[in-house]
Structure 1
Amino acid sequence: MDVAVLPQPVFTRDLGGGARRALAIHCTLAHSGAWRGLAAALEGQVHLAGFDLLSHGNSPDWDGQGDIQERHVAIAETLLTEPMDVIGHSFGGTVALRLAARHPDLVRSLTLIEPVYFAFALRDAPDLLARHEADAAPFAELLARGDFAMGARIFNAMWGGDAGPGWEALPERARAGMIRSIPLVPASRRALYDDPAGIAAPGGLDRVTMPVLLLRGSDSHPVVAAINAAIAARLADVRNEVVEGAGHMLPITHPEQVAAHLRDLLARAGA
């Protein structure tokens, strides 16, 4: 394994074998190993490079400096060393979208799997965002009280409950890792809701001209469909697809279906 040279070095890993190189950015409360199933489904076609977000996996805890989304865009930039296919899931999808807007010459294709860029829903579907906020209120209250352990448990049930066993059945190490990571959720709120980068504003995605795949699970919260539709409406070369029977964690639970959509995208994008 390699370590990227940054003010806060992060853990990186390579998955799969293939001549085509892709950069994969995982979701909150996971780690770069979450891409193993997708890498296996694409074996012989795509070489996936990934990294652990700060405060996740084998990367160090975030030092609290700067905007957490911007920090991860900067990390991703160090790994985008040549034209690559970029894949992002959930919070990782928001990082991937900003990366594509900033470096369209280096992003050959873009795959956004349930990107939680709530600013798009705020503009295009405020009713569904309000519904999400009401559903997430118990989680927000727990974090406001500093109860990160219960907050991680509730967040995992909301967004990751489709990916495996319930909280009590998870290994202690997995639960501890999620509790460690959960402070990044409120830390990312400004970037995801207030959109200081202007990604959801008119013209914010004008530079995202590469082929794009938006993907979501049929069983995910309705706000996800609204976000994907809002992003798709701002792009010229885009397909907005659904994996039936899947929830938010579809890269883990449905890697073969995700891989099939990716193959179609890569064919569109060319060499």
Structure 2
Amino acid sequence: MSLDLSALPQEVYHRKFGTGARHLVAVHCSLAHSGAWRGLVGALGEDRVSCTAFDMLSHGKSPDWDGQGLLQRRNAEAGLCLLEAEVAETGGPVDLIGHSFGATVALAMAEMRPDLVRSLVMIEPVLFAAAKVQNPDALEQMRSDHMAVRSPYAAGDVEYATRLFNRAWGTGHPKWPDLPEHARAAMVRSFPAVMDCDSQVYDDAAGLLAPGALEALEMPVLVMQGGATQPIMTAVTDALSARMPEAQISVIKGAGHMVPVTHPEAVAEVLRAFWSQR
């Protein structure tokens, strides 16, 4: 794949998993990196899929975000470079998949260039603003709960705020003190960028929910969530899928927010069935 990222304001690190015929581009969740897709690709079969993934700015081996523009958009622009290269190589649209904040980035990519996207999979998309009409109480509760993280962060205790955020949205194991020091340091490094995205997930600063934006996505869409995830996610899943003409919902029983990492086989089974329809 010929790829030139030099035109981007900041180049991002990217890698590829698998050698299969089905090509996809993947965007990881906050506090993670592109390697988070390794387990799911393995479950899908490395001889069946070819997955290109990148480290979002301030994550993994990509540089720290320079603070310019909206991080959601900046990551989407980087992802589109990869998507365009994949399409040029394969000769047609490819599958796009994102998890958590990465799912909102994937949505931005699909809205910017729907012609490049064969199908869109959003796993636990944290676009909380989508719940505003359908379940405003859930949105306000999420804002209130988030203050438990925002307050220590504003007071300068970034590590403690990161630890609380990871407790709420992470896999739950290993516990923070048992994580390798380099893993804790990587999450603390990413956390300021994550907190700068509040306006994008709570208030849709990037306009992903603008009138007609979701309705214009004509590709098949799968919105997936864990059955034991944060309460607001059901409202988000329902609200997003209701506005997209070719959307369907899948719930992975017993899974939390980190479902593609904790339940890769179950996610792979759903994806294979979804992709087999098209």
Q: What CA deviation, in whole Å up to 9, does each residue of 1:226-261 have, x standing for no partner?
A: 101000100111111100110000110000111111
Q: TM-score, normalised by structure 1?
A: 0.95
- Tell me the distance in 2 between the aligned counterparts of 1:169 and 1:3: 39
- Tell me the distance in 2 between the aligned counterparts of 1:68 and 1:225: 25
In the alignment, is the contact (CA less than 8 A) between 1:3 and 1:11 conserved in 2?
Answer: no
1:262 aligns with 2:265: no
Candidates 16, 23, 29, aligned match of 1:21: 23
- Tell me the distance in 2 between the aligned counterparts of 1:170 and 1:4: 33
Partner residue, 1:32: 34
- Tell me the distance in 2 between the aligned counterparts of 1:76 and 1:133: 28
Candidates 84, 87, 109, aligned match of 2:97: 87
What one-letter code is carried by the residue in structure 1 that aligns with 2:5?
Answer: A
1:239 aligns with 2:251: no
Partner residue, 1:158: 168
Deviation at 1:190, TM superposition (A): 1.6
Partner residue, 2:90: none
Q: How do residues 214-229 of structure 1 correspond to structure 2 at under 5 angstroms?
A: 214-229=223-238
In the alignment, is the contact (CA less than 8 A) between 2:215 and 2:245 conserved in 1?
Answer: no
Deviation at 1:3, TM superposition (A): 7.8
What one-letter code is carried by the residue in structure 1 that aligns with 2:105?
Answer: V
Q: TM-score, normalised by structure 2?
A: 0.93
In the alignment, is the contact (CA less than 8 A) between 1:124 and 1:230 conserved in 2?
Answer: yes
Q: What CA deviation, in whole Å up to 9, does each residue of 1:16-71 have, x standing for no partner?
A: 22011100000000000000000101122211100001111111111111111110
- Tell me the distance in 1 between the aligned counterparts of 2:163 and 2:235: 26
1:60 aligns with 2:60: no
- What fraction of aligned residue pairs are identical, expressed as a percent? 49
> Size of the alignment, in residue pairs?
268
Deviation at 1:197, TM superposition (A): 3.3
What one-letter code is carried by the residue in structure 2 that aligns with 1:22?
Answer: L
**Helix, strand or coil for the counterpart of 1:48?**
strand
**Helix, strand or coil for the counterpart of 2:115?**
coil
In the alignment, is the contact (CA less than 8 A) between 1:86 and 1:110 conserved in 2?
Answer: yes
Q: What CA deviation, in whole Å up to 9, does each residue of 1:147-205 have, x standing for no partner?
A: 1110110000000033x300000000000000000012221112222223332232121
In the alignment, is the contact (CA less than 8 A) between 1:4 and 1:12 conserved in 2?
Answer: no
**Helix, strand or coil for the counterpart of 1:229?**
helix
In the alignment, is the contact (CA less than 8 A) between 1:217 and 1:247 conserved in 2?
Answer: yes
Q: How do residues 9-158 of structure 1 correspond to structure 2 at under 5 angstroms?
A: 9-43=11-45, 44-81=47-84, 82=87, 83-158=93-168
**Helix, strand or coil for the counterpart of 2:118?**
strand
Partner residue, 1:201: 210
1:183 aligns with 2:201: no
Question: After alignment, is 98-107 or 188-197 more displaced?
Answer: 188-197
Deviation at 1:137, TM superposition (A): 1.8
Structure 1 gap ranges (5+): none
**Helix, strand or coil for the counterpart of 1:86?**
strand
- Tell me the distance in 1 between the aligned counterparts of 2:110 and 2:261: 24
- Tell me the distance in 2 between the aligned counterparts of 1:53 and 1:123: 30
What one-letter code is carried by the residue in structure 2 that aligns with 1:4?
Answer: L
**Helix, strand or coil for the counterpart of 1:178?**
helix
- Tell me the distance in 1 between the aligned counterparts of 2:35 and 2:163: 21
In the alignment, is the contact (CA less than 8 A) between 2:129 and 2:139 conserved in 1?
Answer: no
In the alignment, is the contact (CA less than 8 A) between 2:224 and 2:251 conserved in 1?
Answer: yes
In the alignment, is the contact (CA less than 8 A) between 1:190 and 1:196 conserved in 2?
Answer: yes
- Tell me the distance in 2 between the aligned counterparts of 1:197 and 1:66: 10
**Helix, strand or coil for the counterpart of 1:136?**
helix
- Tell me the distance in 2 between the aligned counterparts of 1:119 and 1:131: 12
